[in-house]
A and B are shown apart, each in its own frame.
Chain A
Amino acid sequence: MQPIIQISGLSKTYASGFQALKSVTLDIRRGEIFALLGPNGAGKTTLISIVCGIVNPSTGKVLADGHDIIRDYRAARSRIGLVPQELTTDAFETVWATVSFSRGLFGKPKNPEIVEQVLRDLSLWDKRDNKIMTLSGGMKRRVLIAKALAHEPQILFLDEPTAGVDVELRQDMWKLVRRLRDSGVTIILTTHYIEEAEEMADRVGVISKGEIILVEDKAELMRKLGQKQLTLHLQAPLAEVPEALAGHGLTLRADGTELVYSYDTKAERTGITALLSDLGAAGIRFNDLQTSQSSLEDIFVGLLRANA
């Protein structure tokens, strides 16, 4: 199936000379939740802004649902909804007016039923006649989401949706995003919270210094995360892994004083019992042991460091 967004060779150099994106190539699959993970200033917002038409690309090409975002911008943009990072709203408008305005702006005929549905889904229905400036920060964010959904987009960009949002609203937001995905909307969210990517995404992309340095299914990533390491501190160093233990896939570290065993915590058998009894049979003694788990955070930090 054709990806819903195809980004190829996308670069952006600002007038200041700052290169925000360096030849980014990325496909977003239809109907997935894609989390774009990266530290502040990595290029997440620039990437989103180009796809949505707010920033002009320097070079490269973007197709949204097969439509070139520049040549065929009407078709491309009418499929996209954007929830920006900043709480930029018209302070003096009512919730109802601003959401209806967005629907019109994106070329859809007036439809009070749809606006009502969007407002109800976001628990904004009771606030529909309130001026936006009277709403709390969390409510304003909901209004921005409602505006982005008012024209029934197929693709929804959420730029840092839960930055500065309380726990309850964050949970609500996650529920909403899942519900949208279930209704067929493709969702791209940027975040620098790893737990958010872990909780929400089908796939995770890591961006750093304007380059995509990893794109992986979250399940695959989590499988890697499920790996734990058992480190045995040996009483006497070994020159090599003994023949009798070859089947366990052990590695020697720290001049032969540490034996490292990797295992999958989610597997039915971890193999630890067998390993320990084989160690005993081979007469290998150890005075300490520890287990460790690499988190998405470790992978992330490792990647960023490698990229630095």
Chain B
Amino acid sequence: MSAATMNLHAIKAIYLFEMARTWRTPLQSILSPVISTSLYFVVFGAAIGSRMQAIDGVPYGAFIVPGLIMLSLLTQSIANASFAIYFPKFTGTIFELLSAPVAWWEAVFAYVAAAATKSVMLGLIILVTAFLFVPLKIEHPLWMLLFLVLTATTFSLFGFIIGVWADGFEKLQVVPLLIVTPLAFLGGSFYSIDMLPPFWRAVTLFNPVVYLISGFRWSFFGFADVGIAVSLTMTLVFLCACIAVIAWIFKTGYRLKN
């Protein structure tokens, strides 16, 4: 094996190892997000939604579907990827990864691909669940899939960074809980940011999650808070930023090697 070639066997091994973890814990991995999403639909869609007026002609119950999927996608991508790299650090089994003939980007690719695969599967499961509660039509299914995959990938990368940075279970929870969940809730999961007063609308535009949800919602209904090109660009910018941080982590050995 020369330095120029890729260690495809390693990528496959890590990917399958991580996926196997999902199948071992189907309740935690699949059932619990489905149940919590169903609760959102019952509360916001059926109970409250029936008293809300339609937004741009879309019933409220349907309007929140993209936001709900994004909410789960963000939190699950981060949880999957951060746990995947944090746990070996915690138990010490990371020594094997560090001593293996694996390039940093190969390891990241495998971990992130596995975390993103799980989130995308989850997003699709939630989408199917949504069909049971509300009438739904997807205008641009391919764009929807693209946003699903891009968002899952980006936030899995972000989760990977958190997993490397965290040196305790508390830190592992802090960022998703204190930063990501508020950003997701305030990013228009349950409303159109056009409903906000102009000042708060301007503030909201600094929230990266707005662009994700907006783009995703556009793929469903054909309208959005911000332009699709802007959504896509912002998503890609965040993706590249995460890759840059991870490259730096592995170059310096930050929190992995001393």
* Chain A interface (Cβ < 8 Å from any Cβ of B): 14-15, 52-56, 72-78, 80, 82, 84, 86, 88-93, 97, 100-110, 147
Contact = CB atoms under 8 A, between A and B. Distances in A.
10 tightest A-B contacts by CB?
A104-B13, A88-B92, A77-B101, A74-B101, A52-B99, A78-B101, A107-B7, A104-B9, A105-B100, A54-B98
Contacts of B51: none
Contacts of A77: 99-101
B46 to A, nearest CB: 39
A104 B10 contact: yes
Best-buried of A92, A97, A101, A104 by chain B (most CB within 10 Å): A104
A84 B97 CA distance: 13
B102 interface: yes
B98 A107 contact: no
B95 interface: yes
B258 A82 contact: no
16 contacts: A14-B258, A15-B258, A53-B99, A72-B3, A74-B2, A78-B1, A78-B101, A82-B96, A90-B91, A90-B93, A97-B17, A104-B12, A105-B9, A105-B10, A105-B96, A108-B9
Contacts of B7: 74, 107
B101 A82 contact: no
Contacts of B1: 74-75, 78, 107
B95 A88 contact: yes
Q: Which of B14, B96, B253 has the most CB of A within 10 A?
A: B96
A262 to B, nearest CB: 47
Contact of A101 (B17, B24, B95, B103): B17
B258 A55 contact: yes
B256 to A, nearest CB: 9
Contacts of A105: 9-10, 13-14, 96-97, 100, 102
Contact of B9 (A72, A109, A147): A109
Given A104-B10, A107-B10, A88 B91 contact: yes
Given A14-B258, A74-B2, A75-B2, A92 B100 contact: no
B20 interface: yes
Contact of A54 (B3, B12, B99, B103): B99
A54 B100 contact: no
A74 B21 CA distance: 27
Given A97-B20, A104-B9, A75 B91 contact: no
Contacts of B257: 54-56
Provide the main secondary structure of the chain A interface.
loop
Number of chain B interface residues as a range:
20 to 34
A104 B13 CA distance: 5
Contacts of B100: 77, 105-107
Given A74-B7, A75-B3, A104-B12, A53 B20 contact: no
Contacts of B20: 97
Contacts of B10: 104-107
Contacts of A89: 91, 93
Interface string B134-178: 000000000000000000000000000000000000000000000
A90 B10 CA distance: 17
Contacts of B13: 100-101, 103-105
Interface in B1-37: 1-3, 5, 7, 9-10, 12-14, 17, 20-21, 24
Contacts of A78: 1, 101
Nearest to A110: B9
A55 B256 CA distance: 9
A109 B8 CA distance: 9
A282 to B, nearest CB: 66
Contacts of A54: 95, 98-99, 257
A106 to B, nearest CB: 5
Given A56-B253, A74-B5, A101-B17, 20 more contacts: A15-B258, A52-B98, A55-B258, A56-B258, A73-B101, A76-B101, A82-B95, A84-B92, A86-B92, A88-B91, A88-B92, A90-B93, A91-B91, A92-B21, A103-B13, A104-B13, A105-B9, A105-B96, A105-B100, A105-B102
Given A74-B2, A104-B12, A92 B95 contact: no
Nearest to A48: B99
A105 B88 CA distance: 14
A130 to B, nearest CB: 15
Which of A73, A74, A91: most chain B Cβ within 10 A? A74
A257 to B, nearest CB: 57
A38 to B, nearest CB: 20
B29 to A, nearest CB: 14
A74 B91 contact: no
Contact of A107 (B99, B101, B258): B101
Of the listed residues A76, A108, A109, the one surrounded by the most CB atoms of chain B closer than 10 A to its CB is A108
